[in-house]
Amino acid sequence: MSHKQKIVTIDGPSGVGKSTISRRVAQALSFTYLDTGAMYRAVGLKFKEAGLDMADETALRKCLDSISLNLLPAGEGSENVGVILDGRDVSQEIRSSEMSMIASRVSAFPAVREKLTYMQQEIGKKGEIVAEGRDTGTVVFPRAAWKFFLDADPEVRMHRRAKQLRSKGESVDEEELLKMIIKRDRDDQARSIAPLCKAKDALIIDTGLMTIDEVTQTMLKVIRKELT
Ligand code: DC
């Protein structure tokens, strides 16, 4: 473990319980929770509000250069990290279904990935990070000491997401939601740069038949075995 970074990476498709589990693992270890998806969402919101022509690479890079992005720990009673974009609190705004799809779209642009990967590596430099996303074990932190890939059946994930959205007062069309989940998986897996895929050295956990608590405890056991 000497040549490895004291970093936990947790990757997988949407709706596998990644965020809740990552937050709990980070809390239990007193590590910092790095929600990389929130960063892609914030960039998506910035592009959307700028009315950017995404085919215009120069405009896109210019917009990225001017971005100011800060992540804050989740507030009291909140599931999600706080996100400050250009000085404005966008923590709630970036969590809509529309922003999920936009984030997935902008995450395919090399300029976006370059910028966010660099920012994430800077944040992770000192170690003691639990990084959650799609490529944290493969691209962002290939030398992380502990890598996990969480997976579950799309139907299971759809039901979890539906529950989450309903609890926020959003109405849900389950069939439509399932289609969106499958499309987002496909897009995230198909992009040519840093696609969603399992790191060779990641431990794969199917969260479909386990509770969040069971998954968290399984991971903590693995990590603590080697934690010095
Ligand atoms: O985890 P999330 O649902 O908040 O992520 C939103 C989108 O951002 C996801 O569809 C793909 C993209 N993403 C990415 O490409 N790489 C990451 N490390 C994290 C998220």
Q: Is residue 137 part of a domain?
A: yes
Kindly state the average pLDDT of the residues 41-55.
Answer: 93
Check residue 7 and give its pLDDT: 97
What's the CA gap between 112 and 202, in Å, rounded? 25
The verdict on the CB of residue 11 being under 6 Å from ligand 1 is no
Check residue 226 and give its pLDDT: 87
Summarised one tens digit per residue, pLDDT across range 192-228 is 888 888 999 999 999 998 999 999 999 999 999 988 7
Q: Which of 134, 148, 183, 192 to mutate to test the pocket of ligand 1 (most atoms within 8 A of CB)?
A: 134
- Contact between 53 and 59 under an 8 Å Cβ cutoff? The reply is yes
Q: Is residue 2 part of a domain?
A: no
Q: What is the percent of the chain with per-residue pLDDT over 90, rounded to a whole number? A: 75
What's the CA gap between 71 and 68, in Å, rounded? 10
Residue at 156: amino acid letter: V
Q: Is residue 161 part of a domain?
A: yes
Q: Is residue 65 part of a domain?
A: yes
Q: What is the CATH number of the domain that holds 97?
A: 3.40.50.300
Instruction: Give 198 Cα–ligand 1 centroid separation in angstroms.
Output: 15
| Nearest atom in ligand 1 to 40's CA | 8
User: Could you give the number of structural domains in the chain?
Assistant: 1
Q: Is residue 89 part of a domain?
A: yes
Q: Is residue 173 part of a domain?
A: yes
Summarised one tens digit per residue, pLDDT across range 91-147 is 999 998 899 989 989 999 999 999 999 999 999 999 999 999 999 999 999 999 999
Summarised one tens digit per residue, pLDDT across range 4-47 is 999 999 999 988 989 999 999 999 999 999 999 999 999 999 99
The verdict on the CB of residue 107 being under 6 Å from ligand 1 is yes
Domain residues for the domain of 133 are: 7-227
Q: Is residue 1 part of a domain?
A: no
Q: Is residue 17 part of a domain?
A: yes
Strands (E), the chain: 5-11, 32-35, 69-72, 82-85, 88-89, 129-133, 144-151, 203-206
Q: How confident is the model at residue 2 (pLDDT cuts 50, 70, 90)?
A: low
Check residue 188 and give its pLDDT: 86
Instruction: Give 37 Cα–ligand 1 centroid separation in angstroms.
Output: 4
Check residue 74 and give its pLDDT: 77
The verdict on the CB of residue 184 being under 6 Å from ligand 1 is yes
The verdict on the CB of residue 104 being under 6 Å from ligand 1 is yes
Check residue 27 and give its pLDDT: 93
Check residue 18 and give its pLDDT: 92
- Residue 156's H or E segment, with its range, is helix 154-167
Residue 1 scores a pLDDT above 70: no
